[in-house]
């Protein structure tokens, strides 16, 4: 199937071609005809599946007819970065249409937004808080709205935006087309969907499993050795651009600095940065100025850098859904990518939960030429573990009872082992918890 099947307006088809899209992704195949028919859609898809174009293209098609200069499509997204990306996609795919979009989010001067809204736009991509400000100030007119998109609804829920969303819903025409996209379906989103969607068509991609193009591995390591192990991995792995996740802003900042000190072109992206610096970090990562970006979950939400070759979970995420989101940053749009997750003994439960979600054990790897026996220096204790309140709640588990062999396998299986030579390939079929050895696959990155 090719894009011609959808019979888009020639101005849109030309931009699709320019963007280099040839074949629609599965979510595009399912969603585009449905959205073109004017139906409400519940889209279960994570970032990286092509979902932005899945709603942007049929919206552009709709907007080609009808009045110009009034807000007819509104996309609400959880973060400024995601809003910018969606706006850019509208810009790319609608380049020849004459349709205009504007982003509306907080943390930046409101006046340029007011001016652009005044000048007349057809598409608004907004974060909830600033949008409500504009509504309250009367600087946006949503009375002509025809299409509403709620993107990454589960993340908006996680970030506490649901009351804001409900407030926004009260301010827009009830007669409209509504598209709701979410990577997961927690009960509150299910409830929201049943409240706001009329006879929706559900489109679902891959049961929200991580992209199949990603190869996953976990690296058991003690907290204080995570940075040296990361440096070792970076040194021996052919990486294009690496997105590293930490659990806290502090850890993101500090790791970014450590990587810089080690000679890498690295930046950190975390909520304490001003919008300008966040944008500079993101732009620098996109254009290759930075090879490594260290980020927290919220800061990295929706980041679309198509050429990300590796995602490294310096800290394991708190939920399997977050794992899927993070991993969705690599292997985007059918490209291949690697996902490395560092785990220490306290991560036992989460590793099992993630494996359950993936339906398969994650391959354990150790790095042969790495000394796992180095003791934690006392002064590093602060960075050695996340602050207690930021660790996920721990259940009474086998780990607590002392059965941690499966989680700290290098201890059990490499007692005092000396590093030797290059890492070797993991033993096929190694059971969960088995410390296998690995060759860093440097020839497979075919992007
Ligand atoms: P998204 O899931 O919307 O964040 O898109 C992920 C990436 O896939 C973006 O870089 C898009 O430009 C790219 N993409 C979207 N649709 C296609 C397509 N049909 N063919 C190739 N790349 C695509």
The residue contributing the CA closest to ligand 1 atom 15 is 50
Q: Which of 270, 141, 274, 220 is nearest to 411 (CA)?
A: 220
Alpha helices per DSSP H over 369-415? 381-384, 398-401, 409-413
Domain at 214-376, CATH class: alpha beta
Locate the ligand 1 atom nearest the alpha carbon of residue 89 and give its number: 12
Ligand 1 centroid from CA 85, angstroms: 11
Radius of gyration of the chain (CA): 23
User: Which residue's entry shows tokens 């993070």?
Assistant: 326
Q: Hey, which residues does 215 pair with through a beta bridge?
A: 338
Ligand 1 centroid from CA 49, angstroms: 6
For the record, the structure tokens of 428 come out as: 């096929």
Q: Which fold has domain 3-205?
A: Rossmann fold (3.40.50)
For the record, the structure tokens of 21 come out as: 């899209």
Rounded Cα gap, residues 115 and 124, in angstroms? 13
* Dihedral angle, C-alpha 286, 292, 296, 298, nearest 10 °: 10
Rounded Cα gap, residues 306 and 11, in angstroms? 24
For 16, half-sphere exposure in the C-beta direction (CA atoms, 13 angstrom radius) is 27
- The answer to whether 3-205 and 214-376 have equal CATH topology is yes
Dihedral pair phi/psi, residue 181, rounded to 5°: -115, 135
Mutate to test the pocket of ligand 1, among 29, 31, 50, 151 (most ligand atoms within 8 A of CB): 50
Torsion sign across C-alpha atoms 104, 108, 114, 117: negative
Predicted TM-score of the model (pTM): 0.59
Q: Which of 332, 355, 360 is nearest to 46 (CA)?
A: 332
Is 56 within 8 Å of 93 (Cβ atoms)?
Answer: yes
* C-alpha distances out from residue 442 to 105, 220, 240, 404, Å: 40, 21, 11, 32
Per-residue pLDDT tens listing for the chain (447 residues) = 689 999 999 999 999 999 988 899 989 999 999 999 999 999 998 777 889 999 999 999 999 999 999 999 999 999 888 999 999 999 999 999 999 999 999 989 999 999 999 999 999 999 999 999 999 999 999 999 999 999 999 888 878 899 999 999 999 999 999 999 998 888 888 899 999 999 999 998 754 445 555 678 889 999 999 999 999 988 877 777 899 999 998 999 999 999 999 999 999 987 777 778 888 888 898 888 999 999 987 766 656 666 677 889 999 998 887 887 777 666 554 455 688 899 998 898 899 888 887 777 888 888 888 888 888 776 554 444 444 444 444 443 333 332 222 222 222 223 233 333 333 333 333 333 333 233 333 333 332
For ligand 1, is residue 301 a contact (CB within 6 Å)?
no
For the record, the structure tokens of 262 come out as: 């080690």
Beta strands in 237-347 (DSSP E): 242-245, 266-269, 292-295, 310-313, 337-343
For ligand 1, is residue 48 a contact (CB within 6 Å)?
yes
Mutate to test the pocket of ligand 1, among 24, 25, 44, 54 (most ligand atoms within 8 A of CB): 25
Is 22 within 8 Å of 2 (Cβ atoms)?
Answer: yes
For ligand 1, is residue 53 a contact (CB within 6 Å)?
yes
Rounded Cα gap, residues 13 and 286, in angstroms? 26
User: Which residue's entry shows tokens 């620098």?
Assistant: 284
**Where are the chain's structural domains?**
3-205, 214-376, 398-442
The residue contributing the CA closest to ligand 1 atom 19 is 24
Locate the ligand 1 atom nearest the alpha carbon of residue 49 and give its number: 2
Residue length, the chain?
447
Q: Which 3 state secondary structure label does DSSP give 293?
A: strand
């Amino acid at each position: 199937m090719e894009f011609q099947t959808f019979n888009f307006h020639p101005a849109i088809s030309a931009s699709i071609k320019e963007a280099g899209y040839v074949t629609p992704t599965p979510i595009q195949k399912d969603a585009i005809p449905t959205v073109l028919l004017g139906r409400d859609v519940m889209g279960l898809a994570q970032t990286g599946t092509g979902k932005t174009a899945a709603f942007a293209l049929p919206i552009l098609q709709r907007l080609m007819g009808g009045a110009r200069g009034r807000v007819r499509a509104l996309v609400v997204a959880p973060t400024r970065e995601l809003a910018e990306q969606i706006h850019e996609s509208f810009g790319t795919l609608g380049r020849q249409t004459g349709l205009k979009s504007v982003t509306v989010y907080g943390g930046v001067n409101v006046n340029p937004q007011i001016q652009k809204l005044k000048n007349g736009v057809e598409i608004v991509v907004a974060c909830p808080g600033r949008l409500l400000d504009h509504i309250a100030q009367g600087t946006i007119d949503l009375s002509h709205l025809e299409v509403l998109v709620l993107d990454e609804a589960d993340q908006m829920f996680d970030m506490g935006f649901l009351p804001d969303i409900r407030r926004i819903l009260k301010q827009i025409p009830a007669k409209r087309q509504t598209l709701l996209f979410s990577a997961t379906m927690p009960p509150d989103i299910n409830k929201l969907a049943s409240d706001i969607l009329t006879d929706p068509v559900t489109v679902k991609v891959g049961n929200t499993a991580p992209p199949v193009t990603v190869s996953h591995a976990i690296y058991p390591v003690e907290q204080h050795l995570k940075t040296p192990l990361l440096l070792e991995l970076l040194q021996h792995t052919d990486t294009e651009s690496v997105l590293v996740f930490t659990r806290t802003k502090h850890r993101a900042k500090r790791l970014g600095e450590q990587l810089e000190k080690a000679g890498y072109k690295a930046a950190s992206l975390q909520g304490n940065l001003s919008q300008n610096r966040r944008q500079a970090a993101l732009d620098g990562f996109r254009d290759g100025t930075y090879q490594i970006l260290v980020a927290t979950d919220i800061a990295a939400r929706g980041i679309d850098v198509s050429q990300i070759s590796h995602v490294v979970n310096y800290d394991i995420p708190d939920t399997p859904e977050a794992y899927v989101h993070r991993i969705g940053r690599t292997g985007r749009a059918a490209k291949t990518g690697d996902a490395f997750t560092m785990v220490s003994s306290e991560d036992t439960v989460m590793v099992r939960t993630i494996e359950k979600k993936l339906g398969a054990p994650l391959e354990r790897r150790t790095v042969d030429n790495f000394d796992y026996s180095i003791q934690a220096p006392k002064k590093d204790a602060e960075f050695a573990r996340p602050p207690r309140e930021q660790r996920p709640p721990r259940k009474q588990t086998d780990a607590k009872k002392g059965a941690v062999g499966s989680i700290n396998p290098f201890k059990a299986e490499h007692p005092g082992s000396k590093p030797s030579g290059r890492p070797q390939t993991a033993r096929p079929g190694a059971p969960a918890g088995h410390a296998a050895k690995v060759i860093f696959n440097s020839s497979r990155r075919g992007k």
